[in-house]
Amino acid sequence: MWGVDIYAHILRKFYPDETVIKVVGRDCGICKNPFAGGARTLHIWFERNSPVGRLSDETAYHKDQFGAIPDGTALDFAELYYKQSGQELLNTLNREMNLNLDRERTQYGNTPRSDIDKGPKFSFFKAPIKNIKSHKSITIRDAYNYIVGPYAKERTEKLRSILADKSRARLYKAANFDYVTFCGEFDVRSNNSVKKVSGLLCIDFDHIEEPEVLFTKLLNDEYFNTVLLFRSPSGDGLKWVIEIPPQELPHPFFFKAVENYIFKTYGVNIDGTGKDISRACFLCYDPNAFINENYL
């Protein structure tokens, strides 16, 4: 059980108009502690229960930097707020958070399959890139689990070790990296065969001089809420996934508007092929990827 959603649920009761948690990799940063007068002293993170276990078998923990509350897990934190424990506490969380704890469990531990499936879906494709038949539909949380997990670690490290040979690196990436189409679901990847649009847009920033600086700027963008943000397979670029209103403008027009906004705001050119709704995005290894708390 991750428990990050429990922390977020309780913190939103105190700070309803704020982003209470920012998840980067397996770290949620330093948050306001309502049990310490709102001081930003509460460190929340999550880690694997077993170093060789499935990625989803994880537990969230907290520690106040000044010891205002005892160290513990999300359930310990919930006990402080609700002043309940045991089954009584679980019943309260189940009711308030619509956890459906009495329903079927999945490989995601105590998280019901119905909760994991919430949110926009898009297609996942197995390598190589010439494979255009969708393997399955996944969610943002699924993609995040893949990126911060070990699945693409070896191939990402291999690619970055051969970048000096551009031709070899390009062929290696095309042959070995799984990919997704963030903009929608497909049976066969083609601009003319989208089954359902996701309401997501993925922006590719290639060959950035200071990717970490831009990473921080995008997280604090004034107009767009970041859904998912991670480093590119080569390590010198970024993949920025944002929400868009899919009914307002055709996809290419909305992409062009975002492209103009990014250039005007950050002075950076983006990969123009993102205008294609079936644009492929390679999934690589980035343990410090960011996911919006609303998608946990």
For the chain, the domain total comes to: 2
At 145 the three-state DSSP class reads helix
- Residues 23 and 152 reside in one and the same domain: no
Burial class of 97 by CB neighbour count within 10 A (0 to 12, 13 to 18, 19+): middle
Residue 263: CB atoms within 10 Å: 12
- Residues 267 and 136 reside in one and the same domain: yes
- Residues 260 and 162 reside in one and the same domain: yes
Per-residue model confidence as pLDDT tens digits over 164-196: 999 999 999 999 999 999 999 999 999 999 999
- Residues 273 and 126 reside in one and the same domain: yes
Summarize the confidence of residues 51-65 as an average pLDDT: 70
Task: Examine the pLDDT at 31 and tell me if it is beyond 80.
Answer: yes
d(CA 126, CA 158): 18
Contact (CB, 8 A) for 183 and 277: yes
* The last residue of a domain, from among 81, 116, 151: 116
- Residues 173 and 200 reside in one and the same domain: yes
Task: Examine the pLDDT at 56 and tell me if it is beyond 80.
Answer: no
* The last residue of a domain, from among 60, 86, 116: 116
- Residues 150 and 254 reside in one and the same domain: yes
- Residues 159 and 291 reside in one and the same domain: yes
- Residues 17 and 111 reside in one and the same domain: yes
- Residues 132 and 106 reside in one and the same domain: no
- Residues 41 and 126 reside in one and the same domain: no
Tell me which residue of 23, 28, 1 sits closest to 290, measured CA to CA.
23
DSSP 12: H
* The last residue of a domain, from among 59, 82, 116: 116
Bridge pairing between strands 72-73 and 27-33: unpaired
Bridge partner list, 254:
none
pLDDT category, 147, cuts 50, 70, 90? very high
- Residues 80 and 216 reside in one and the same domain: no
pLDDT at 146: 92
Contact (CB, 8 A) for 66 and 10: no
Give this prediction's pTM.
0.70
Q: Tell me, rounded to whole angstroms, the distance of Cα 29 from its chain centroid.
A: 15
Which residues, 6 or more positions from 87, have their beta carbon under 8 angstroms from its beta carbon?
none
Summarize the confidence of residues 17-25 as an average pLDDT: 87
What is the domain extent for residue 44? 4-116
Summarize the confidence of residues 205-232 as an average pLDDT: 93
d(CA 242, CA 239): 10
Task: Examine the pLDDT at 118 and tell me if it is beyond 80.
Answer: no
- Residues 149 and 269 reside in one and the same domain: yes
Contact (CB, 8 A) for 258 and 130: no
Least confident of 14-18, 102-106, 241-245, 247-251: 102-106
pLDDT at 54: 40
